[in-house]
């Protein structure tokens, strides 16, 4: 299922173009013609804005947990909650103390 993406500049719905493998690193200068196995590749979905021509890359659904915030387990009460809390919402355990 493709997500609907809006252009950040002009808020036009962006068009999906293709999925493309993107190399995360270049090892060619070091290892000659060996494939880029060490650096690996990431698959990205490419979207373009038909209005202003802006191009955006999104990590593919199969490698990203799209739309979900990573969970973190509170060491004090053992409950899971979204990672963007500075404190545990259940027991108020403070991660930065
Ligand atoms: Zn645009
Ligand atoms: Zn807690």
Residue range 21-75, pLDDT digits in tens: 766 665 555 555 554 444 566 778 889 999 999 998 887 655 444 456 678 889 9
Instruction: State the DSSP string of 34-90.
Output: S-STTT-EEEEEEEE-TTT--EEEEE-TTTS-TT-PPEEE-TTT--EEETT-SB-TT
Residues 48, 77: one domain? Answer: no
Q: Relative to the alpha carbon of 78, which ligand is closest?
A: 2
Looking at the 3D structure of the chain, how many domains does it have? 2
Please check whether residues 47 and 91 belong to one and the same domain.
Answer: no
Ligand 2 center from residue 72 Cα (angstroms): 10
Protein residues within 5 Å, CB atom, of ion ligand 1: 7, 9-10, 12, 49, 51-52, 54
Q: Which residue has the higher pLDDT, 61 or 76?
A: 76
The verdict on 79 and 53 lying in the same domain is no
- Same domain assignment for residues 10 and 40: yes
CATH number, domain of 47, equals 2.20.25
Q: Are 47 and 85 within one domain?
A: no
Tell me how far the alpha carbon of residue 88 lies from the centroid of ligand 1, in angstroms: 39
Q: Can you give the residue range of the structural domain that contains 94?
A: 67-97
If asked whether residues 26 and 59 sit together in one domain, one would say: yes
Question: How do residues 14-36 score in pLDDT, each as one tens digit?
Answer: 999 988 876 666 555 555 555 44
């Amino acid at each position: 299922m493709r997500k609907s993406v809006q252009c950040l500049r002009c808020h036009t719905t962006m068009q999906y173009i293709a999925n493309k493998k993107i190399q995360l690193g270049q090892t060619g200068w070091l290892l000659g013609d060996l494939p880029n196995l060490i650096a690996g590749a990431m698959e990205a979905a490419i979207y373009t804005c038909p209005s202003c021509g802006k191009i955006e890359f999104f990590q593919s659904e199969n490698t990203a947990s799209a739309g979900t915030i990573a969970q973190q387990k509170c060491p004090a009460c053992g409950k899971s909650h979204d990672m963007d809390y500075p404190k545990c919402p259940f027991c108020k355990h403070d991660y930065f103390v």
